[in-house]
Amino acid sequence: MKLILLGAPGAGKGTQAEKIIDKYKIPQISTGDILRENVKNQTELGLKAKEYMEKGELVPDDVIIGIIKDRLAKDDCRNGYILDGFPRTIPQAEALTEALKPDKIDKVIFINVSDDVVIERLSLRRVCKNCGAIYHMKYNPPKEEGVCDKCGGEVYQRDDDKEETIKNRLKVYREQTEPLVKYYSDSGLLVEIDGTKSVDEIANDIDSVLSKIGGN
């Protein structure tokens, strides 16, 4: 089962990917996570990507495509995978189609949310520096401000979750990534999901789509 999760930053793609992983036992391939790990470790790729990420801009295609090709070649992707954060542009989508031949993507799940919802979700999101636990200051705050409930690590706001950067990320998304909705709709692969529902309702809607895909 080869899937793409599509949607604006903060649409809930990561949360839904976790649920798909639990049920279907396929890995989530998140370019965001891979890039942040490289930035943290100050690798050559990380240093190159950092200047783009801090501004909320897209990392160049050649860097991202190289990462994805290498990742999909690993053994844990043999039975399928979930692509989260890639492709983000039509040229990336075309490059992915070419790279997968003769295989192809089974479904593209588009989680649709408004900009207002995204801004509230992301600007109030906080992350533990130590274990990566995610909090929301309105819906799921840590018991003690600034301290992770799970490990006691520092809970902070990522630079790309600050409101000014979020607005820029949304602008980039609308200009460069949203055209993928039509691209994949025209190919018959796209399924649109209402991202304003509860987490469990969204998961049920997605599962009803995935359960119809034959085999893994």
Choose, from 13, 50, 71, 107, the residue flagged as catalytic.
13
**pLDDT above 70: percentage of residues in the chain:** 99
Active site residue 78: no
Choose, from 36, 50, 121, 169, the residue flagged as catalytic.
169
3-state SS, residue 47? helix
Choose, from 48, 55, 158, 197, the residue flagged as catalytic.
158
Active site residue 174: no
3-state SS, residue 97? helix
Whether pTM exceeds 0.75: yes
Cα–chain center distance at 183: 18
Choose, from 88, 107, 121, 126, the residue flagged as catalytic.
88
pLDDT in tens, 125-148: 999 999 999 999 988 999 999 999
E strand intervals along 7-158: 28-30, 81-84, 107-112, 125-128, 134-136, 155-156
What domains does the chain contain, in order, with CATH numbers? Answer: 2-114+170-210 (3.40.50.300)
- Label residue 216 by pLDDT band (50, 70, 90): very low
pLDDT in tens, 155-209: 999 998 999 999 999 998 898 888 999 999 999 999 999 999 988 999 999 999 9
Active site residue 126: no
